């Protein structure tokens, strides 16, 4: 009887020990779940960032190119608050005769000091027919007086189509060598994160399938 009792106790202890060892640790599971959650968040943020960059590239580059328009960056505050400094302006071709008072246009003129050709985006405040044909008077919304020189129809380069506030600062940086380097690095980083996530997922799947 005594021997039988000892064997039963040893067997019970062995079963308890076996069950204890078989219980998976909770901490590694929690860490694995946290890594998966962080991976999903990083992938989501990366996807949104790439989608936003692609959308801006389409609206600020592809659309104007297809429609024959121009993309310009606002450098002064003459059209504040309608066009803040740093905004990107997209013009579309327009027949000067269809323009009216209140329209915002981009026209070309010669700078008197540098003799360089510059583009100015201002609002039409008056129009009339002169000896050179249709002539416009333009003015910046933030300026007290109209532009000193009348604008001929031949100087008109386009009418304001749409604009994106403040993105011109980012656009200027991204088009610079440092910006292009940053874009390339970001693309490589996103690709590396995506690759590591796929490898980690494949490893977990293979490990789960090998368990008895």
pLDDT of 47-70, one tens digit each?
A: 787 777 778 777 888 888 898 998
Residue 161 tokens read as 């189509």
Strand, coil or helix: 64: helix
Is the pTM value of this prediction over 0.75?
Answer: no
Angle of helix 26-57 versus helix 177-210 axis, rounded to 10: 140
Please tell me which residue, 166 or 46, carries the higher pLDDT value. 166
| pLDDT (0 to 100) of residue 158 | 96
Domain ranges of the chain: 69-165, 169-205
Q: CATH number of 69-165: 1.10.2020.10, 2.40.50.140, 2.10.109.10, 1.10.3720.10?
A: 2.10.109.10
Q: pLDDT band at residue 139, thresholds of 50, 70 and 90?
A: very high
Structure tokens at 196: 């590591």
Q: What is the pLDDT of residue 210?
A: 43
Q: How far is CA 83 from the centre of its chain?
A: 19
Structure-token match 């656009």, residue found? 171
pLDDT in tens, 183-208: 667 667 777 776 776 666 666 555 55
Q: Looking at the DSSP assignment, which residues form a beta bridge with residue 71?
A: 90
Cβ(125)–Cβ(139) below 8 Å: yes
């Amino acid at each position: 009887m005594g021997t039988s009792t000892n064997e039963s106790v040893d067997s019970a202890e062995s079963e308890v020990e076996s069950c204890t060892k078989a219980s998976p640790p909770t901490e590694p599971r929690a860490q694995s779940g946290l890594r998966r959650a962080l991976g999903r968040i990083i992938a989501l943020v990366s996807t949104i960032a790439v989608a936003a960059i692609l959308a801006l590239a389409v609206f600020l580059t592809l659309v104007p190119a297809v429609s024959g328009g121009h993309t310009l960056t606002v450098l002064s505050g003459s059209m504040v608050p309608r066009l803040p400094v740093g905004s990107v302006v997209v013009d579309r071709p327009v027949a000067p005769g269809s323009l009216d008072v209140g329209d915002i246009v981009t026209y070309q003129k010669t700078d008197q000091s540098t003799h360089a050709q510059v583009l100015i985006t201002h609002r039409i405040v008056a129009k009339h027919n002169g000896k050179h044909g249709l002539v416009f008077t333009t003015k910046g919304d933030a300026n007290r007086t109209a532009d000193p020189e009348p604008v001929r129809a031949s100087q008109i380069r386009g009418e304001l189509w749409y604009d994106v506030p403040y993105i011109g600062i980012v656009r200027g940086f991204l088009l610079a060598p440092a910006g292009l380097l940053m874009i390339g690095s970001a693309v490589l980083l996103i690709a590396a994160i995506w690759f590591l996530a796929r490898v980690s997922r494949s490893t977990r799947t293979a490990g789960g399938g090998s368990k008895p």
